[in-house]
Structure 1
Amino acid sequence: MLHHIVNTLCWPGLRPLQEAAVGPLLAGSDALLLAPTAGGKTEAAIFPLLSRMASESPRGLSVLYVCPIKALLNNLLPRLEGYAGWIGRRAALWHGDVSTARRRHILRDPPDVLLTTPESIESMLVSVNVDHRMLFAGLRTVVVDEVHAFAGDDRGWHLLAVLERLTRLAGRPIQRVGLSATVGNPPELLGWLQGSGAGTRPGTVVAPETATSPVCTARGGTAVPARQTSGSARAVPGTATAPPQGEVELDYVGSVSNAATLLAALHRGEKRLVFCDSKRLVEELGHALRARGVTVFLSHASLSADERRRSEQAFAEARDCVIVATSTLELGIDVGDLDRVVQIDAPSTVSSFLQRIGRTGRRPGSVRNCLFLALDGESLLRAAGLLHLWGQGFVEPVTAPPEPRHLVAQQILALCLQEHRVGDRTWQEWWNGLAPFGAPAAPILRHLLEGGYLDEDGGMLFIGPEAERRFGRRHFMDMTAVFTAAPEFTVLSGRTEIGRTDPALLTEEVEGPRLLLLAGRTWRVTYTDWRRRRCHVEPADGHGRARWGGTGYGGLSFALCRAMREVLLGADPPVRLSRRAAERLGALRQDEAGSVHPGGTVVTRDPAAGDVRWWTWAGHRANATLAATLEGLAVPGQRVDDVSIRLRGDLTLPRWRAGTGDAAGRLCLPEVDGKALHGLKFSAALPERLAVATLAARLADLDGAAAVLAEPARWTVRG
């Protein structure tokens, strides 16, 4: 390997992270490798693993390289094929866009390194066409790229459960290596990645310009440092450090049209990547840029694979262009000579912003940069709050969603598909003691049996008729993904797939032709095939409509809302504010002067409107927790927002004091709308009370609610 590093790559040596990773990875230790974007994490992981493979491993699948998105896998494949080829080994790709013929070839002659997703691993495990015991018999290591993107949602629980099943199939502990650029709690994240092995297997956090840092495990499986380290590039959440480096500007433009005009005029001749946080906004901006003569490429999850590949190819080949994307291009993809990053409005986390600004500054002599363009005052305030947190060195801790009972149900069903028959006393052993899948899963198993999802005979469990009915379509493919996708129609121009759209756009009343906006272009609907869920179109002039169903508004965090409050109280983010942004921010501070106070929270009474409102600035989940706890004080059944709670119009100050005095000791979980359960995939396979309890726990922020109740509240009258 060293020969090729020096002579093929022409590297003078390894980077500090890569040097520090060699020892623990060669020794088989679990590890979390941390470095900024483009910091060489992939090579830090793969070089030692290939070196060990060359000296120890027989032929066959030895390393799984797992990524959260297909675009990243596509981008990594040529590099890993080249590295593996140095030692006469092979790498291959397996995900939803890979052809059946290619998959059959992989099964006949497995590669040494397989790049894939958790959903594809699950599909291999449950498929009748895959001999999973033979395929995974030699598995030694799993590398999880962008591990923070998994750990914060249900895909992380799914990944951990699948890794435990792979461990049992392989008959040995499997080394786990995580890669991340942005995380606020590295030791805890490593402990999470180790799963059932936390506390029993060696684990190391490796960060740039530091020595390796062993970790031990405390109560409850939380990983904590065994000794202090120095020189870490990360910031601990809530601590203030020197403002990070980079050229960042915040501007206020007021509309998509104005944003397009500005982007068309600025930085001509450069490659610019524009992030939007909705597919509709990607389409609107892409259409507006194309109308202004800009070469533009789009990327989001509802575009066809060919459309997305064109955007990915533009990273490597195009120069004077704008690429407009959702978070699909946030993670890990090598963007090489990208000149600029532009953010429309603001992401919801500092971690996401760090990923995006990390797309730039990769060429010698260039610096990381990001231009924020706010479309309205609310987005301007959110961007300013986010940048205020960034300036303090804050990065959100990555925490797994609590109580994944619906995934326990999914995993039990998937295991029965995998093994065909599972012992009614041995099924828990497949997850090696991983907490959610142990003894607490027994009531879920009983419900699966009572509901006909599972059948039992002679002490063996197997798939029942209700599971066949609900999840059996397309050979149980719906069982492999843990998120619920809104129904979409495929849009075709001739035989070419353009992407997918919300069926609501095909049913609502319109005057004249029905026009869709997709891939930044306008299309006229010529025919809708309702049975096959297909929509045929042809190019058209004018401005079509874009729309996609969502899973609901998740709300802003406690930390971000508190930072927005600090901005309203006078804090300025450590970035360049345009004149427009400074003026609009000044107007916002005047408008919201009555909702913030440096001494605590504010309760306002507007007698004319009959409105009493508690301005908590605590985030959606903390406010939902407070509204549920303050029964009799808060308006029942209200739609909770990020910054305030509506109180009863007849509320008096004495009643307020009496109702809130002991509230911190009796916090309640938020109420759950029955319709919201549809967004919790596999909730139908749970007893309703457990599904409700799962969702309620995820809607709550007990710590944030308690922090707000500990602050004094200032009552004022408006109007």
Structure 2
Amino acid sequence: MTTPAAAFDLLDPVLGHHIVNSLGWRSLHPLQEQAIDPLLSGQDAVLLAPTAGGKTEAAAFPLLTRMNQRGWKGTSVLYVCPLKALLNNLHPRLQTYAGWLGRTVGLWHGDIASTKRRRILTQRPDILLTTPESLESMLVSTHVDHHAFFSGLHSIVIDEVHAFAGDDRGWHLLAVLERLARVAGRPLQRIGLSATVGNPDDLLTWLQGSGHGTRPGQVIAPHLADGERESLRRVAEGTASASPPGDIELDYVGSVSNAATVIAALHRGEKRLVFCESRRTVEELGEQLRLRGIITFLSHASLSVDERRRAETAFAEARDCVIVSTSTLELGIDVGDLDRVIQLDAPATVASFLQRIGRTGRRPGTLRNCLFLAVSEEALLSSAALLLQWSRGWVESVLAPPEPRHLIAQQLLALCLQEHRVGEHLWQQWWNGLTPFRAGAEPVVNHLIQEGYLDRDDGLLFIGPEAERRYGHRHCMTLTAVFTAPPEFTVFNGRTEIGRTDPDLLTEEIEGPRRLLLAGRNWQVTYIDWHRKRCFVEPADEGGRARWNGFGAERVRSFTLTRAARDVLLGEDPPVRLTKRASLRLAEAREALLDTVHPGGTLIVRRDGGDVRWWTWAGHRANATLSATLPSVIVPHRRTNGDWIRLRADLTSSRWQAALRDAQANLALPEVADYAIRGLKFSEALPPRLAEATLAARLMDAAGAQTVLAESIRLSTLTER
């Protein structure tokens, strides 16, 4: 193994000089030392470290060295991030590092002015910071000679790679990377930067795409030394281990207003970051904090770019203040020297919690900390369950969503825009055998041709009239965006853009003036431009409302976290500080749900009045799978509950046993609602049965359902109290 001193000596001498003298570093972090040799040799890698673990430098220093050693010209490194704000934050730092070696860094995303983009095209930077969607736009743009621009490309860094890998943006990213490699004419080194995940080796396999098995790659994670990496794999499968240290407290407050009172009273003089699970809650909490005289800033996706930047800049420079945010500030954006993280209700995953608590404890002598404030009993139970799983050392495995057929359609159309004409038997070569683009993609291609999305002539495929009609507006921007967003109205105060709001707030019947809550302030609507989807407002004292509706999957609780909630109800507390209010409410929940849990399996509870519920405590996806598999004994329910399934009131033991025998032999795919299909972007470019099958596969939890079916089932008959 290369020694730390020897590893440092592998870096460019000028770079080494500035690391010591300009940064004042006496040494590199272990991750940075261990990354030098493999990255210099061109290996693929996943660099794994907690938040603020120096991952950016671990990738940048070897790549800058390799750039100079090999004499790379033009844009040779792409640095890809999931958020534009993260790119903005990283740009000056990478610009400094590159400048030491006479190299340049450019920034390209949707908020960058066209004049700056034209300058990038004529004066290609050595490193380009961008998003996958912007890369797609460059590939299909008639203003970008992508073959010339990307001809010198050698390496790609994907920051927060776990944030991509778990959803469709990850499949989109992999597909774009394969196309870039073909444009560049060489395999591209892929380097993923990630916080702790439960399956880092699988993440590397996913990141390598078609190059897995043909290109060298490794996970570099020095903080998982002495067998911890194997332990992490085991705990991801359910085996307990010790939790990392931290100052964690769980409180029950009962409402957003009470949460604001607690936040206003605690930690005066400190910088506090509050995470909420919805934009609406961010707005409501922000308003309540300002009413209590707290200097408050807000950040979420429906605020204007300038509004978010003002908040992030002010928060980075202020001391006694609070910033309230959705997950937009969960990733590596620098918000300065943070004292406290406060979590309203429970985040969706343990991985999110680790990202958020990692914002604190960066100063010597301080601990990472997080105060949970639950505004409902359900949120309290979810928070306790998540903290219990965290204490066991468990973190979710990052898994790519199965069967991304809609993205196959999107990529085929994007490729035809990029190359104008593609051979009908050669299109698969562009993805070099990447899993979704193998033989199973043929039905999607045939459908695109049949429906006029693609035309075919003399063995060549090209954009058809239906694609022009649906996606041809504004230079096919809708084709390069992977996610469907519901229409929103842009809100202006004079010429200043405040953000965007849901049109329902502008159309519903109300008495009196129409008022909005946006950027933590109240506004009265003065004029609505329906054609341009603009809304003009002026300040108001009170009465504003915030709301956003969205397509796509509802928030669901996994099998593991739902079972952890059952463990809490059975009496197991997470090893964190519980306030008296939290302890009292948990005791009340345990009493109320006493007859729905037992540690050896599941319960069927029949109450007076014919209400029969099967308390599986298996999570939404497993229960959706079980409901589809047992139609003869299930009462159809519009929304799946993660804790229980409603059974027929006339259920008999013989019918139940027969249904179970059939279920154990053959699980069924969950039913998919029409609104969910409409929310799947590009679903209209798929045969209806394939669009439904795509979503059904993503709703299914076969392992969870099979676990439930293998457990003992007890029958309990209760009378109403």
Give the TM-score normalised by the residue count of structure 1.
Answer: 0.96
Contact 2:232 2:394 in 1 (8 A): no
Q: Are 1:97 and 2:111 an aligned pair?
A: yes
Q: 1 CA distance for matches of 2:429 and 2:489?
A: 41
* 2:630 corresponds to: 630
| Paired residues for 1:339-354 under 5 Å | 339-354=339-354
Q: Are 1:499 and 2:464 an aligned pair?
A: no
Contact 2:157 2:190 in 1 (8 A): yes
Contact 2:49 2:223 in 1 (8 A): no
Q: 1 CA distance for matches of 2:689 and 2:714?
A: 39
* 1:606 corresponds to: 607
Q: Percent identity?
A: 68
* 1:549 corresponds to: 549
| Paired residues for 1:633-712 under 5 Å | 633-712=633-712
* 2:565 corresponds to: 564
Contact 1:555 1:641 in 2 (8 A): no
Q: Are 1:4 and 2:18 an aligned pair?
A: yes
* 2:592 corresponds to: 591
Contact 2:348 2:555 in 1 (8 A): no
Contact 2:232 2:393 in 1 (8 A): no
* 2:11 corresponds to: none
Contact 1:250 1:575 in 2 (8 A): yes
* 2:716 corresponds to: 716
Q: Are 1:135 and 2:149 an aligned pair?
A: yes
Aligned-partner residue type, residue 466 of structure 2: E
* 1:334 corresponds to: 334
Q: 1 CA distance for matches of 2:95 and 2:182?
A: 28
* 2:309 corresponds to: 309
1:653 CA drift (Å): 2.3
1:311 CA drift (Å): 2.1
1:242 CA drift (Å): 1.2
Deviation string for 1:592-615 (max 9, x for gaps)?
10110112111100122x210001
Q: 2 CA distance for matches of 1:105 and 1:336?
A: 31
1:674 CA drift (Å): 2.2
Q: Are 1:23 and 2:37 an aligned pair?
A: yes
Q: 2 CA distance for matches of 1:121 and 1:284?
A: 36
Contact 1:182 1:234 in 2 (8 A): no
| Paired residues for 1:287-302 under 5 Å | 287-302=287-302
Deviation string for 1:315-342 (max 9, x for gaps)?
4211111000000000011233100000
Contact 2:244 2:393 in 1 (8 A): yes
1:665 CA drift (Å): 2.0
SS of residue paired to 1:661? helix
Q: Are 1:482 and 2:496 an aligned pair?
A: no
* 2:168 corresponds to: 154
Deviation string for 1:75-132 (max 9, x for gaps)?
1111000000010001111111111111111111111111111000001111111111
| Paired residues for 1:94-133 under 5 Å | 94-133=108-147
| Paired residues for 1:64-463 under 5 Å | 64-209=78-223, 235-463=235-463
Residue ranges of structure 1 left out of the alignment (5+ in a row): 214-226
Q: 1 CA distance for matches of 2:362 and 2:293?
A: 28
Residue ranges of structure 2 left out of the alignment (5+ in a row): 1-14
Aligned-partner residue type, residue 268 of structure 2: R
Aligned-partner residue type, residue 392 of structure 2: Q
Q: 1 CA distance for matches of 2:56 and 2:237?
A: 26
- Counterpart of 1:57 (choices 66, 71, 95) is 71
CA-based RMSD of the aligned residues comes to 1.5
SS of residue paired to 2:538? strand
Q: 2 CA distance for matches of 1:145 and 1:667?
A: 38
Contact 1:71 1:312 in 2 (8 A): no
Q: Are 1:514 and 2:528 an aligned pair?
A: no
The worse-fitting range, judged by mean Cα deviation, of 201-210 and 398-407 is: 201-210
Aligned-partner residue type, residue 102 of structure 2: G
Aligned-partner residue type, residue 602 of structure 1: L
Cα distance change of structure 1 residues 233 and 37 upon mapping to structure 2, 3 Å threshold: farther
SS of residue paired to 2:222? coil
* 2:7 corresponds to: none
Q: Are 1:615 and 2:629 an aligned pair?
A: no
Deviation string for 1:220-251 (max 9, x for gaps)?
xxxxxxx9967979954412111221000000
Contact 1:209 1:232 in 2 (8 A): no
The worse-fitting range, judged by mean Cα deviation, of 117-126 and 549-558 is: 549-558
Contact 2:199 2:233 in 1 (8 A): no
Q: 1 CA distance for matches of 2:228 and 2:284?
A: 49
SS of residue paired to 1:64? strand
Deviation string for 1:129-156 (max 9, x for gaps)?
1111111101111100110000000000
* 1:535 corresponds to: 535
The worse-fitting range, judged by mean Cα deviation, of 33-42 and 236-245 is: 236-245
Contact 2:252 2:581 in 1 (8 A): yes
Q: 2 CA distance for matches of 1:317 and 1:69?
A: 22
Cα distance change of structure 1 residues 235 and 81 upon mapping to structure 2, 3 Å threshold: farther
Aligned-partner residue type, residue 566 of structure 2: R
Deviation string for 1:54-83 (max 9, x for gaps)?
121333101110111111111111100000
Cα distance change of structure 1 residues 285 and 86 upon mapping to structure 2, 3 Å threshold: same
Q: 1 CA distance for matches of 2:673 and 2:600?
A: 35
